[in-house]
Structure 1
Amino acid sequence: MNWSKAKTVLIITFAILNVLLYLTIAKINKPQPQLLSRQDLYSIEEVLLQNNIILKTTIPQETEPMPLVKVTREIFDESFILENFIKSQKYEKYKENRYTIFKFEDKTIKVDGISFYYFEKNDKFKDMSSSQKEEYVQNFINNYHFKEINVQVEKISQGKEVKIKYFQTYKDYFIDGGWMEGKIDDKSFEFSKSWFGSVVMEKAKKEVINAAYALLKLVEIKTDAKPMVVKEIKLGYYFNWSSATKGEAVPVWRITTQDGNRYYINAYTGNFEEGK
């Protein structure tokens, strides 16, 4: 094999890809957003493939200007626990780091003001079917007034475990940064929640970057040689302050991989917000 010739071909190939990438990014960052051509999209996919990033979804093309969203977290404090769960029962209370922990009967509750965690261990779960376990989760949510309207629901049943996840939405956009989840198996039931009790969209709107530019950020973020398979890229909101009670959620492109990892790219600036 002529290694010198092969090396030259590789250098030329990468040079062409770099030029195409530069032209594509320049087009993406024009003040007035434009639809990318098939050649642009092909060039982007080639660059991603060169970095072992495989697309298993289409790249969204059309976007609209988006505002920031003001969010305020739901509060879970001692009075909430005493009023809704313990009432007149005997209980033990102590602090552990930022959490206040309540123990009564075979139950444990942990709160830190903006998040709630409940754990119950009981033999009654042993003989429950999957549908009964799912019903138990739903009844718990309804009985303790945790039910929300603007949600997307994901149900996972694996072996003896049933898990139901709730994702917050607003005007057809996801709002990540909070969660609600019920999990039950043959031995125990767990429930956790951290939610935005107030969501208000601001008036001023700004243009957002093209999804293709967000995908190209993966080249910068990716640190290993393992294949990364992208199964979804979607526009929505993300609040990247886990301990804050309120603030502004920013528009983001959320990139979800086949192994369940999520990467958030700021849709205003193109900066990497967070990924896991």
Structure 2
Amino acid sequence: MDLSRAKTVLICTFLILNIFLLYQILLNERGGNTGLFGRKEEMSRLEAALQEAGLSLEVPLPKGGVRLAYMIVEPWHFQLQDIVVPLLEALPGEKKVLEEFNNNGFYPSSSENSLSVYHIGEYQLLVAKEGRITLKRLGWGKSVNSFSIEESEQAARQIINKVSFLNNLIYDYSQKYTNETAINFRQEYEGLPLYAGYLQILMRGVTPAALYFYRLEPVGLAEQIREIIPPSTALLRFTETYREKNEKAGIIEFSLGFYSQEYDAERWEIPPVWRIRLDNGEIYYINAFTGILEQ
């Protein structure tokens, strides 16, 4: 083989390799649909839709081509005393409240519309029929949230590490407001985020002001596995909904997990969703099977 022919073979091999790599990139991004012109056309459409909706995409989109099934869940059953005592023991400086609770018992001050309300010292406890728990500290005076997010997060972690039914939750994200910082945790099942199960602790500095808690018992995944819609399709569906608000925002998270509303039922199925979190604190869930916004 002469030198000229060897160079030709080498160049052809290099070109074939580059075409193969491009094919793999498009395959990952499209989840199997490799039409180059279709890809460019879709990206142009997506950019135009984002601009029209006043949205900016600040994170890369995940890969498509994922196959999932519904997650089957059941409610998490609990005794109120088993919830309240560990929480009060974990809250800083609440020994007097715990003593009052142990001395006076545990009786609702009101119960209506499937919501039971209890008063324990400076705290108000609300228990919804479907299992959602809210613990609020009352009688706050003027407070200044002068601590950093990191300090508030550390204080929140110290609380949940002391409570056995909370310490297996996964840190999700934090959001700082004028007087409070919201520290959010979530459940997880076999490495899959379960956004429907959550804990939110509102911190005023390093002091907890409120806790919002809802837990589920995952049973497993349903047998029927389906391919979910590509992230680009979910994003297009979202822009159609968001542009009606006529507000500008940045998309700071685009992730896959499971989410549904809270139900008063013995067992139900939760769909996979694309979660879209904005820099203004708003969160949206797009059903990854249907593309419909989950309310």
Q: Same fold (TM over 0.5)?
A: yes
For 2:271, which of 250, 260, 272 is the aligned residue?
A: 250
Q: Check 1:35–1:45 CA distance in 2 against 1; reply closer, same or farther (3 A cut).
A: farther
Distance 1:153 1:51 in 2: 27
For 1:80, which of 82, 90, 111 is the aligned residue?
A: 82
Give the structure with the higher percent strand. Answer: 1
Hey, what does 1:17 align to over in structure 2?
none
Hey, what does 2:290 align to over in structure 1?
269
Query: Where does the alignment leave 5 or more consecutive residues of structure 2 unmatched?
Result: 1-30, 89-97
In angstroms, what is the RMSD of aligned CA positions? Answer: 3.5
Distance 1:233 1:157 in 2: 20
What does residue range 135-214 of structure 1 map to in structure 2 within 5 Å?
137-155=156-174, 161-185=180-204, 189-214=209-234
Residue 194 (structure 1) shift: 0.4
Residue 110 (structure 1) shift: 2.0
Larger radius of gyration: 2
For 1:240, which of 225, 249, 261 is the aligned residue?
A: 261
The answer as to whether partners of 1:76 and 1:116 remain within 8 angstroms in 2 is: no
1:104-140 residue CA offsets vs partner (Å, 9 max, x unmatched): 33333222241222234599xx9x9958865654444
For 1:89, which of 103, 107, 112 is the aligned residue?
A: 103
The TM-score, its normalising length taken from structure 2, stands at: 0.67
Q: Check 1:184–1:229 CA distance in 2 against 1; reply closer, same or farther (3 A cut).
A: closer
Q: Check 1:55–1:178 CA distance in 2 against 1; reply closer, same or farther (3 A cut).
A: same
The answer on 1:100 being equivalent to 2:116 is yes
Alignment partner of 2:184: what SS?
strand
Percent of aligned positions with the same letter in both sequences? 19
The TM-score, its normalising length taken from structure 1, stands at: 0.71
Distance 1:262 1:96 in 2: 31
The answer as to whether partners of 1:76 and 1:112 remain within 8 angstroms in 2 is: no
1:22-76 residue CA offsets vs partner (Å, 9 max, x unmatched): xxxxxxxxxx842564513233212332343332232333332101111123234
Q: Check 1:81–1:94 CA distance in 2 against 1; reply closer, same or farther (3 A cut).
A: farther
How many pairs were matched up? Answer: 242
Hey, what does 1:47 align to over in structure 2?
49
Q: Which moved more, 1:142-151 or 1:68-77?
A: 142-151
What does residue range 2-151 of structure 1 map to in structure 2 within 5 Å?
33-35=32-34, 37=36, 38-39=39-40, 40-80=42-82, 88-91=102-105, 92-97=107-112, 98-113=114-129, 114-120=131-137, 137-151=156-170
Q: Check 1:190–1:205 CA distance in 2 against 1; reply closer, same or farther (3 A cut).
A: same
Distance 1:162 1:266 in 2: 29
Query: Where does the alignment leave 5 or more consecutive residues of structure 1 unmatched?
Result: 1-31
Hey, what does 1:221 align to over in structure 2?
241
